[in-house]
């Protein structure tokens, strides 16, 4: 299991605490320092079953500077969104957990986080 975090993010810290409490083994990726590639973002989006605009933090200053709220949200624009996230990782919603079974979630809610924990944890 891997979790993409920003250590300053409260939801990321909560997710780490819950993973530790459940005794889950995981790898931490500080995605602002270890920036995901376009290919990695495409893989994670596929595992999440989401589109890039679904995991983009459009309230970040860089998103405002790029005018992302006005970008089309359609298949032909996916590459543009993914490229922006690869270039500016602060745009990526967090925490993202990819489980060994192929399941992935944006663990911003207790329900999403629980979905990647072992049963009974």
- Identify each DSSP E strand in 2-95 by its residue range: 2-5, 27-30
Q: What pLDDT shows up at residue 100?
A: 85
What are the angstrom distances between the C-alpha of 84 and each of 107, 113, 118? Answer: 22, 26, 34
The answer to whether 9 is a known catalytic residue is yes
The active-site residue out of 1, 9, 90, 112 is 9
* Chain segment 19-75, per-residue pLDDT in tens: 999 999 999 999 999 999 999 999 999 999 999 999 999 999 999 999 999 999 999
Q: What pLDDT shows up at residue 103?
A: 84
């Amino acid at each position: 299991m891997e979790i993409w975090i920003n250590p300053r993010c409260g939801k990321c810290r909560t997710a780490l605490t819950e993973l530790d409490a459940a005794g889950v083994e995981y790898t931490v990726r500080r995605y602002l320092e270890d920036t995901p590639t376009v290919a990695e973002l495409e893989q994670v989006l596929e595992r999440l079953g989401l589109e890039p605009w679904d995991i983009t933090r459009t309230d970040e200053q860089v998103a405002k500077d790029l005018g992302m709220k006005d970008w089309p949200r359609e298949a032909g624009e996916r590459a543009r969104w993914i490229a922006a996230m690869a270039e500016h990782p602060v745009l990526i919603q967090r925490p993202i957990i990819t489980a060994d079974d192929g399941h992935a979630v944006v663990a911003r809610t207790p329900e999403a986080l629980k979905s990647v924990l072992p049963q009974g944890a």
